[in-house]
Amino acid sequence: MISDTMWFKKEKGIEVTTIKREVPNGLWVKCEECGEILYKKELAKNLWICEFCNYHFKISARKYIEILTDEFKELDIDIQTANPLQFEGYLDKIKTASEKTGQKEAILIGEGKIGDYKIALGVMDFRFVGGSMGSVVGELVTKAIEFALSNKIPLIIINASGGARMQEGILSLMQMAKTSAALSELADAHIPYISILTNPTTAGVMASYASLGDVVIAEPKALLGFAGPRVIQQTIKQELPEGFQKAEFCLEHGLIDAVVSRDKLKKTLIGIFDFFGVGKEEIKQEINN
């Protein structure tokens, strides 16, 4: 339940572009997909979507929250990562990731507002040890689910993960069952859950809560799947088809409901909430009257 996406850098041969271009200084950035040089300020304004190829850059959890919500308040849950297996170097890795991202773990959870809707929100951050899921991520996801349940508001999880976290061994695997069990309670209560899949969402996260949304939406070109491409290639010993495991491929195979660009996501979500009719303050008042 750990995919290779978070562990291996792209092999040279798979690199899409071979055109070498100089990136002058911090003001410019090269598109990882098409190789175009993009003006950073423009790119940020464009929500980190390449204007040439529609590639969606990986962005931090906080940036995503900023893009998507009108209001957001982080839920302060008093837990932190331990080292249950006494795995060598694990806590150092966590410390480095914390310093790099300014986050305690690979997911931020909180309550927020999108349009007129109150929501429970969880946003994963791939920069934090590949968005891997250990006990804390599992518990925070569960807390977000429980928050949605007790407040009867929709749940949104923005996924980005290479899967379960190896350093917590079997406990990481059990987070798949834990979060799925929590989601069975949410489903029972008829509270909507929208899962957003960003690049990449694979392995243990994809094979649990990321796939269990009432509606599952992916960002364009996101890599989505159970096993990582390298593992599959090593197993079957043949080339993988063009576009394999990309969001568009998954859409074609009926594995997800829609591919939606980051800039259209908020509007799409509001439309879905309107349909489900859960979480809008006004509606509640109407019923009370």
Partner 1 sequence: MIWLDFERPIVELREKLESLRLTASEGGNVKEDIKKLEDEINTSSQKIYSNLTSWQRVQLARHPNRPYTSDYIKLMFSEFFELHGDGCFRDDPAIIAGMGKIDNKPVVLIGHEKGRSTKERMYRNFGMANPEGYRKAMRVMKLGEKFKRPVISLIDTAGAYPGIGAEERGQAQAIAYNLREMSALKVPIIAIVTGEGGSGGALGIAVADVVLMQEYAFYSVISPEGCASILWRDANKSAEAAKALRITAKDLLELGVIDEIVPEPTGGAHCNPEETAKTLKRTILEKLEPLLSTPPEILVKNRVKKFKAMGIYAHSKV
Distance CA 123, CA 109 (A): 6
Nearest-approach distance from CB 213 to partner 1, in angstroms:
10
CA nearest to 204, candidates 142, 253, 104, 137: 137
Which residue in 171, 215, 270, 283 binds partner 1 (CB under 8 A)?
A: 171
34 binds Zn ion (CB under 5 A): yes
Nearest-approach distance from CB 112 to partner 1, in angstroms:
24
Structure token pair of residue 21: 């271009």
E-state strands within 95-253 = 107-114, 117-124, 155-161, 193-202, 215-218, 224-225
Residues in contact with partner 1, counted by CB under 8 A, come to a total of 64
150 binds partner 1 (CB under 8 A): no
CA nearest to 105, candidates 121, 84, 83, 126: 126
CA nearest to 193, candidates 133, 276, 78, 71: 276
Nearest-approach distance from CB 102 to partner 1, in angstroms:
16
Question: Which residues neighbour 99 within 8 Å (Cβ) at sequence distance 6 or greater?
Answer: none
Q: Give whichever of 38 and 114 is closer to Zn ion, judged by the CB atom.
A: 38
Cα torsion angle, 13, 19, 20, 21, sign: negative
AA identity, residue 180: S
Tell me if 259 sits within 8 A of 220, measured CB to CB.
Answer: yes
Structure token pair of residue 159: 């996924």
Which residue in 101, 161, 198, 245 binds partner 1 (CB under 8 A)?
A: 245
Residue 31 binds which entry of Zn ion, partner 1, none, CB below 5-8 Å type-dependent: Zn ion
Residues 183-222: x where in contact with partner 1 by CB under 8 A, - otherwise, as a string: xxx-xx-------------xxx-xxxxxxx----------
Q: Which stretch binds partner 1 (CB under 8 A): 62-70, 241-249, 263-271, 272-280?
A: 241-249
Question: Interface residues for Zn ion in 51-70 (CB under 5 A)?
Answer: 52-53, 55
**Contacting positions for Zn ion (CB under 5 A):** 31, 33-34, 50, 52-53, 55
**Contacting positions for partner 1 (CB under 8 A):** 1-2, 7, 78-82, 84-85, 87-88, 134-136, 138-139, 142, 164, 166, 168-178, 180-185, 187-188, 202-204, 206-212, 224-227, 231-232, 235-236, 240-241, 244-245, 253-255
